[in-house]
Amino acid sequence: MTKKPYNGIYRQTLFILGKLSVPVLTTYLHLDEINTVQEINAAVVNVSGRQRMLSQRTALFALRLVCTKDKQAQEELRSGLLADLDLMERSHKGLIEGDRDLKLPGHPSPTVQSMYFAAPLNLDRQVRQYIDQARAIARSSSEELIPDNPHLCYILTESSKNLVEALDSVVNQYQKESDTEQLAIHIYQAQLYEKSCAATAQAVSQGKKLEQALQELQQAQSQLVEKEKMSNLGCLVAGVAHEINNPVSFIYGNLNYATDYIQNLLDLLKVYEEEYPKPSVVLQEKIDEIDLEFLKEDLPKVMYSMEVGAKRIHQIVRSLRNFSRSDEELIQVVDIHEGIDNTLLILQNRLKAHGDNEGIEIVKEYSNLPLIECYSGQINQVLMNLIGNAIDELENLSSDVCSYPKKIKISTEFCHSGTIILRIADNGQGMTEDVKARLFEPFFTTKPVGKGTGLGLSISYQIVVEKHQGSIECISQPGEGTEFIIEIPVVQRQQEEITNELESVA
């Protein structure tokens, strides 16, 4: 058997542990080797301690043997003494050379070796002599078993002085070495644990970075898809807008003439009435039939709303064209309340009661607002989309479900941070979380084919957030109605300013 120092086992264990250079938790939990070292240490300390106990017990057996006259008791003591001495001898050998069954590795450390084999202790010699002397007593004839038997004297002296002191010293040394090794193991375990924690933290942070990179990639991808869709939509919209533009221009261009002609006719009518204050029966019947008084009063209003409507169509067409060529329209300074009122005027027909439909009440809560800089045509388009959606929602509610008056509340507010807030709230059915999550997706609609294209909100989002650096938010729950909140800055910054700022941040 190759000779190795006792703590070679410990070193070997550390070597095995050290070889596992990846500091993961399993390394830290590499308990087999650690347990073995602990077991060996415990066995060595126990057996060396037991040697002390055996030296005392054998001395006691020897003394009793000498004092006992009873033959049978003598025999029992002799065999007890011999058994203890065999064990003592085996343990002693095991401590020095190793003993698998006793879990003794042998190969004591240089310090322990010098205790066994060098002065002043020479423990190996002491133990052997002691065992020899004790065996000699065990084998003495009954006659020789007298109190001043020289073997007995030797044993009693040694067991109370030299031998016991030497055994104590070696037990202490074994204990010390064991403690040092345990400490080293604990320190090593702690270091491994620390390393494994650091490695785990590193792995977690790398995982997070990877996750973030993946998210950014997904975002970039969806933006690309979105841009592609929007540019296709832009082409479509530009084509439609171009087609509508001409007929709208006819209407819009001729409305002034129509208003003038109608005014002329009304003036003429007035002159007729003055010249012929008493109309004929036939004429009077016709006047009553067409309700001339109401007609005269309402016609200019009708003409005005047609003009506002045509103007709005004209603007919408322009902003639709700008949707594809967004740099065409110029920023204007406008009164947002005027924009809301005009939108309501155009939508008037859908708000009024007719047939079974009891109509929708508009509640306005306007604050004092400054004029704001914006692409007014586009902001009007947003208003049209949001109010249009609210009307769609309320129109849909049958009177069986809806026992309350249908309302759209429009409120405005000025924030001293330099923005205005516009709220458009309806008391409709509200939306589910699923619908809310997809609101601003292009082409997302819950309306029947032909009724909704699902573009209103995605366009509005683009106009408010991207074109005006504002925000658009939706608060809605099933059964609780819906509120859209838009915030836009009063002053629009130039695009180059924003680009420069973004570049400096990057």
Binding site for Mg ion (CB under 5 A): 389, 456
Of the two residues 26 and 477, which places its CB atom closer to ligand ATP in the complex?
Answer: 477
Please measure the distance between the N-terminal and C-terminal CA atoms of the chain and give it in whole angstroms: 71
Does 445 help bind ligand ATP (rule: CB under 6 A)?
yes
Exposure letters 419-450 (e unless 16+ CB within 10 A, then b): bbbbbbbbbbbbbeeebbeebbbbebbeeeee
Q: Which stretch binds ligand ATP (CB under 6 A): 138-146, 192-200, 238-246, 389-397?
A: 389-397
Of the two residues 181 and 426, which places its CB atom closer to ligand ATP in the complex?
Answer: 426
Residues 472 and 460: beta-carbon distance below 8 Å: yes
Identify the residue among 230, 387, 457, 472 touching ligand ATP (CB under 6 A): 457
Does 396 help bind ligand ATP (rule: CB under 6 A)?
no
173 binds, among Mg ion, ligand ATP, none (CB under 5 to 8 A by kind): none
Does 490 help bind ligand ATP (rule: CB under 6 A)?
no
11 binds, among ligand ATP, Mg ion, none (CB under 5 to 8 A by kind): none
Does 395 help bind ligand ATP (rule: CB under 6 A)?
no
Q: Which stretch binds ligand ATP (CB under 6 A): 22-30, 157-165, 256-264, 442-450?
A: 442-450
Helix (H) or strand (E) holding 410: strand 407-415
What does each C-alpha distance from 336 to 95, 344, 348, 375, 485 come to in angstroms?
99, 13, 18, 11, 15
CA atoms within 13 A on the CB side of 337: 12
Does 402 help bind ligand ATP (rule: CB under 6 A)?
no
Pairing of strands 471-476, 407-415: unpaired
Q: Which stretch binds ligand ATP (CB under 6 A): 162-170, 263-271, 288-296, 425-433?
A: 425-433
Does 432 help bind ligand ATP (rule: CB under 6 A)?
no
Residues 196 and 23: beta-carbon distance below 8 Å: yes
Q: Which stretch binds ligand ATP (CB under 6 A): 83-91, 137-145, 206-214, 431-439?
A: 431-439
Q: In whole angstroms, what is the distance from residue 126 CA to residue 128 CA? A: 6
* Most distant CA pair in the chain, distance: 175
Q: Which amino acid is at 52?
A: R
427 binds, among ligand ATP, Mg ion, none (CB under 5 to 8 A by kind): none
Contact positions vs ligand ATP (CB under 6 A): 385, 389-390, 393, 426, 428, 431, 435, 439, 444-447, 452-458, 482
